[in-house]
Amino acid sequence: MAFSMKDKNVIITGGGKGIGKSITEVFLKEGANVVFSGRNEKTGEETVKEFSKYSNKLKFIKADVAIEEDTQNLFKMSNDYLGSIDIVVLNAGYFPQQRIQDMTSSDWDTVVDINLKGVFLNTKEAMKYLKEGGRIVITSSITGNKVGNPGLGHYGAAKGGVNGFMRTAALELSTKGITINAVEPGNIMTPGMENVLGAKYIKDQESIIPLSKLGEPEDIAYAIIFLASDEAKYITGQSIVVDGGQILPESALDLH
């Protein structure tokens, strides 16, 4: 049992795969009604089928976070389906490996659009629907906020921008009694991590993480559910690092 989400109406972007899938599952297990988005309909519908055991109030809506019209549709259709919206989890993200010298301006735009503009567009839409007590929680990253990562210059810039955006959004939302916070995952075992970064990257990472292993998607989901809970009502504009201690060591000597 985590924090109760009984009868809360929740939107989760990128909720059908990886960390987002775990967030969807944890919210459903705690009693929430969930709409989640993504671009891949097949994955979305498979996740709905798999999680129908938890709730019959669960729906996938195809929507690209970086396209304003999709975002407007997502929120309108979710509001129609759920009746109201209490919590919005902005989780969708994309992290292709491209060293700066090989990165095109189109590569840059794609990554910044999904990871940063997507957060802006969805927050703007969320503001139209959330009421007093509403919550926005973002899946940010240690990359860009606490550390650099060769090959992820665009992604780090976007995720650093996300936290900067969140602080101002927290102030603008505070007058309405709505909070916005972020979780900064370290290295979490997901399809995105496996497919894009590969087995060698994962093994190398394990050797520099004090808790000696990559995180699991639910490690992020539980931090998010806390920030989305009624109990987290006095926290806004903050981010929680969930990284197995990865950003702590000053030198290799500090490890094990």
Q: Please choose, from the candidates 78, 98, 81, the residue with its C-alpha nearest in 3D space to the C-alpha of residue 89.
A: 78
Residue 143 burial (CB count, 10 A): 22
Q: Residues 64, 86, 125, 219: which binds ligand NAP (CB under 6 A)?
A: 64
CB within 8 Å of 104: residues ≥ 6 apart: none
Binders of ligand NAP in range 205-224 (CB under 6 A): none
Considering only residues 17, 117, 135, 146, which one is a binding residue for ligand NAP as defined by CB under 6 A?
17
The number of angstroms, rounded, from the C-alpha of 94 to the middle of its chain's C-alpha atoms is 11
Handedness of CA 61, 67, 69, 75 (dihedral sign): positive
Q: Which helix (H) or strand (E) holds 239?
A: strand 239-242
Answer for which of 10, 20, 30, 86 binds ligand NAP (CB under 6 A) is 20
Which of 191, 198, 212, 233 touches ligand NAP (CB under 6 A)?
Answer: 191
* d(C-alpha 158, C-alpha 144), whole Å: 7
Instruction: List Cα–Cα distances, 182 to 88, 160, 239, 242, in angstroms.
Output: 12, 11, 4, 11
**Contact status: 130 vs ligand NAP (CB under 6 A):** no
Nearer residue to ligand NAP within complex by CB, 151 or 192: 192
Min dist. Cβ of residue 37 to ligand NAP (A): 6
User: Does residue number 66 form part of the binding site for ligand NAP (CB under 6 A)?
Assistant: yes
**Smallest distance from the beta carbon of 74 to ligand NAP, in angstroms?**
9
Residues touching ligand NAP, count (CB under 6 A): 30
Q: Is there binding between residue 11 and ligand NAP (CB under 6 A)?
A: no
Question: Which residues belong to the active site?
Answer: 155
- Cβ(47)–Cβ(36) below 8 Å: yes
Cα distance between residue 48 and residue 111, in whole Å? 27
Q: Is 59 near ligand NAP (CB under 6 A)?
A: no
Query: Using the rule CB under 6 A, is 61 a contact of ligand NAP?
Result: no
What is the spatial distance between Cα 23 and Cα 19, in angstroms, rounded to a whole number? 6
Stretch that binds ligand NAP, among 64-72, 96-104, 122-130, 170-178 (CB under 6 A): 64-72
Which range of residues in 97-105, 166-174, 189-197, 230-238 is near ligand NAP by CB under 6 A?
Answer: 189-197
Residues 26-45 that bind ligand NAP (CB under 6 A): 37-40, 43
- Torsion angles phi and psi, residue 129, rounded to 5: -110, -35
Establish if 246 lies at the interface with ligand NAP (CB under 6 A): no
Do the strands 179-185 and 135-139 form a parallel or antiparallel pair, or are they unpaired? Answer: parallel
Residue selected from 78, 141, 145, 236 as contacting ligand NAP according to rule CB under 6 A: 141
Q: Which residues bind ligand NAP (CB under 6 A)?
A: 13-14, 16-20, 37-40, 43, 64-66, 91-95, 114, 139, 141, 185, 187-188, 190-193
